Structure 1
């Protein structure tokens, strides 16, 4: 197996297995805990996300993208991240009571003080994780991630089964970070003798700070919904929203990560512009061919997921989930379009684009929050589609493929996926469908999707299936 295929395989293995374990643990914990527990924990995730962004500060990506990082580079990142981690820990510890007062949840003070130790643990592994990626040791990285996630999940489940409530989620997070730290120090060797090099720091920070600012904007924006729901409503409503968003997030992020890890290196390595354009077209066509029907199946399955699998206490999450699935249904398009900017190494345009999109999102949030959580989810969906248009502006200038051209490429997937979904939902609404059982509805949807796609473009259907199976394309002749 060559280096590229080796990297892709273990990278995909890591994402799929780790996220699958997280999903299984999440479902099990949801059956054992009430929405309030997840809501309380979600309130801390705003702080956790901000803290981890500061701890990384763009140094991880700078190390990964640098050609042949030196021992001095790794040592510099190690010590700088420890300093940042300790600083963030101190701030979090002393701000805990103020955050608790903001949400009017007294228990948050102790939760945040306990959880803050994770920031120190995470800061110790930034350089180690980067070295694994630089050396293409994805198998070892996969092992570390899978073991850490599994260990944290077991601790969380045992705690929940013993009635520890929200503390089960706290123990899960700490256990995960602890095992990650232990395994990184055991399996990845870094020389710390060089200390902090000012030249290494300047070199790494000069590239990383733009990505840091982009990530910081993304974290603040994406967590603003959690912050507002927790402040304006209650931990129960926040728990319902968080669970719906988390489930679709796990799936879409895993899928998008695999696409990005495959698509970005291929685009970057290809020299001929026409070949790059063809790769771009094939990627969005293939990714949406797979992703859209799965999103439709998730919508048809939402009541089954949230009532039969998670438990009746999560029933109100189903509608939030349906709306958010629509928002995430175009996520692969976002990723592939942003990959074009990364291929061109235009981190300045990337930052400018992120700022513009977040300003749009904040405006929509300001208009929607007063109408409740449901309309906030609708606002997320509207923002997702509007931001896709913004993403495609730069792609239009680089590849000549704007939003209208991309919609033409995926039109058969859109029609074949959404048509059967709307038909089945209509029949279910008027009670005309022969069964409401999910094990009957989903097979009917899959049959209708394949039949309609075959009618619209059977050559494309066969070619896409063959690509997924690693075979040769069918000729149009």
Structure 2
């Protein structure tokens, strides 16, 4: 059965096979449940650890993770996305991918272990060497589960992926809290990261079976290196961009400043991790299955962005107006220095999240080298913005990073639109109504701020959330057409029906 909807020109198109559509809705529901659970755990964990650990300890771990995260991109070589995107896969392909993942991860584990001392001296942080050496174990642990994890994504086994995310993060939280209470300081975060990697990998390899024998096929390895090379170039530039501000702050402003900035940034990206990553994990396999059908791609691309704006609008409004209250609740009174950078970073929250849809589209179309060029530009702007901004402290760095995030969104959108033969005007028309919902949220919260701010921080946020919920229920119950197109409303109804059915 096919689903038919009107396109922008008023004619009917076959959007997608009903089974694929339902799989996407099913996957979205499971992944949003997973990420929402992880979001709550992350929120609670941050509240606890911010009161047990110092800014210096968070800064040390933040810098170590920046280095590990950047290197992990090279250690996977785009193997996972190649598995998801390839139209057909067989045992030979999977065995070659497994072999490549093992070799690369062991190589980079040894490399970082040997360079740990040099890196520690460069950043003038003596304890960084020991932390980096311990974290290299993550490369070896994860190497055994890369193929299995992406096979689950290819097969759209979102329920299993949801459990994998939740239980691995639960392990992280428990280990982190136990060791932090025991007085292990920054090592509580190190042990938590290793525990999360172990649980994540064990779930993948126990659920998704595949042959793990070593097999070398030069043709398949060449294919993996071609797609993986383009993907990895883009990913490495993207990770350099995402971690570049941390590297600059750690080198120039010190671990204390990095600890404050990293907590502000972590709060800002919570909605991105909750919704942006869900959209990406669900949308990428869907778009890959219809990669040659631009009419269908345009439908998913435009309506996914419209729905994401609707979902994010209440969060952005609260983050913008109740920044200090959020910091007080999550981090405590000792972290008020995080308020100014968080206020500025929130301005880029929409672009930071929405760009993931363009990223899914570009990967599905196979334009990995064009994507790499854009991510290189993004990385350059992040470094330039952070280096220039450091002279004005964390506020200056936050401004530079926000400008870079905005530029990256514009460039990735332009590339996506060219790949599916769509104009900016069509996107603007589809996003106009959802953007009005953001404006309505900001107006309502601004008007009620003078009254709500009189309450304790936690109560003011709760009351602000209740105001938004009531407004949302009234609007979408009686006047949904004010902020949603017919296509977006249809998808929203399907998602809601699946959630309540469950």
TM bucket normalised to smaller: 0.7 to 0.9
CA contact (8 A) 1:416 1:450 kept: no
Q: Which residue does 1:325 correspond to in 2?
A: 346
* CA distance in 2: counterparts of 1:226 and 1:238, whole angstroms: 6
C-alpha spacing 1:11/1:413, structure 2 compared with 1 (3 Å): closer
Q: Does 1:247 align with 2:267?
A: yes
CA contact (8 A) 1:454 1:461 kept: no
* CA distance in 1: counterparts of 2:348 and 2:110, whole angstroms: 37
* CA distance in 1: counterparts of 2:42 and 2:319, whole angstroms: 18
Q: Which of the residues 218, 221, 224 maps onto 2:238? A: 218
Q: Counterpart of 2:89 in 1: which secondary structure?
A: coil
Q: Which of the residues 365, 375, 379 maps onto 1:354? A: 375
Q: Which of the residues 152, 166, 171 maps onto 2:186? A: 166
Q: Which residue does 1:38 correspond to in 2?
A: 58
Q: Which residue does 2:413 correspond to in 1?
A: 392
Q: Which residue does 2:158 correspond to in 1?
A: 138
Deviates more, 1:227-236 or 1:266-275: 266-275
In the TM superposition, what is the alpha-carbon distance from 1:18 to its structure 2 partner? Answer: 3.6
* CA distance in 1: counterparts of 2:157 and 2:224, whole angstroms: 22
* CA distance in 1: counterparts of 2:282 and 2:97, whole angstroms: 27
In the TM superposition, what is the alpha-carbon distance from 1:56 to its structure 2 partner? Answer: 0.5
CA contact (8 A) 2:313 2:441 kept: no
Q: Which residue does 1:68 correspond to in 2?
A: 88
> Deviations for 1:236-277, whole angstroms, at most 9, x for unmatched residues?
211111111112223213311233344455555388755544
CA contact (8 A) 2:238 2:379 kept: yes
Stretches of structure 1 lacking an aligned partner (at least 5 in a row): 473-477
* CA distance in 2: counterparts of 1:354 and 1:97, whole angstroms: 29
Q: Which of the residues 66, 73, 78 maps onto 1:58? A: 78
> Deviations for 1:9-47, whole angstroms, at most 9, x for unmatched residues?
444444443444333323322232222211110010122
TM-score normalised according to structure 2 size = 0.82
The correspondence of residues 17-416 of structure 1 with structure 2, limited to 5 A, is: 17-264=37-284, 269=290, 273-274=294-295, 276-398=297-419, 401-403=422-424, 405-416=426-437
> Deviations for 1:115-164, whole angstroms, at most 9, x for unmatched residues?
22112112222122223333443333333332222122211110011111
> Deviations for 1:264-302, whole angstroms, at most 9, x for unmatched residues?
555553887555444443332222122122211123332
Q: Which residue does 1:475 correspond to in 2?
A: none
Deviates more, 1:16-25 or 1:241-250: 16-25
* CA distance in 1: counterparts of 2:19 and 2:443, whole angstroms: 45
Q: Counterpart of 1:67 in 2: which secondary structure?
A: coil
C-alpha spacing 1:103/1:297, structure 2 compared with 1 (3 Å): same
In the TM superposition, what is the alpha-carbon distance from 1:433 to its structure 2 partner? Answer: 4.4
* CA distance in 2: counterparts of 1:231 and 1:454, whole angstroms: 52
C-alpha spacing 1:278/1:152, structure 2 compared with 1 (3 Å): closer
* CA distance in 1: counterparts of 2:265 and 2:103, whole angstroms: 33
CA contact (8 A) 1:111 1:170 kept: yes
Q: Which residue does 2:454 correspond to in 1?
A: 436
* CA distance in 1: counterparts of 2:476 and 2:84, whole angstroms: 41
In the TM superposition, what is the alpha-carbon distance from 1:217 to its structure 2 partner? Answer: 0.8
TM-score normalised according to structure 1 size = 0.86
C-alpha spacing 1:222/1:151, structure 2 compared with 1 (3 Å): same
* CA distance in 2: counterparts of 1:445 and 1:243, whole angstroms: 26
**Residue-pair matches, total:** 469
* CA distance in 2: counterparts of 1:160 and 1:309, whole angstroms: 17
Deviates more, 1:78-87 or 1:274-283: 274-283
Deviates more, 1:9-18 or 1:280-289: 9-18
Deviates more, 1:20-29 or 1:112-121: 20-29
CA contact (8 A) 1:243 1:317 kept: yes
CA contact (8 A) 1:413 1:453 kept: no
* CA distance in 2: counterparts of 1:177 and 1:434, whole angstroms: 42
Q: Which residue does 1:468 correspond to in 2?
A: 492
CA contact (8 A) 1:412 1:457 kept: no
C-alpha spacing 1:44/1:467, structure 2 compared with 1 (3 Å): same
CA contact (8 A) 1:284 1:333 kept: yes
Q: Counterpart of 2:408 in 1: which secondary structure?
A: helix
In the TM superposition, what is the alpha-carbon distance from 1:218 to its structure 2 partner? Answer: 0.8
In the TM superposition, what is the alpha-carbon distance from 1:345 to its structure 2 partner? Answer: 2.8
Report the aligned-residue RMSD.
Answer: 3.2
CA contact (8 A) 2:387 2:397 kept: no
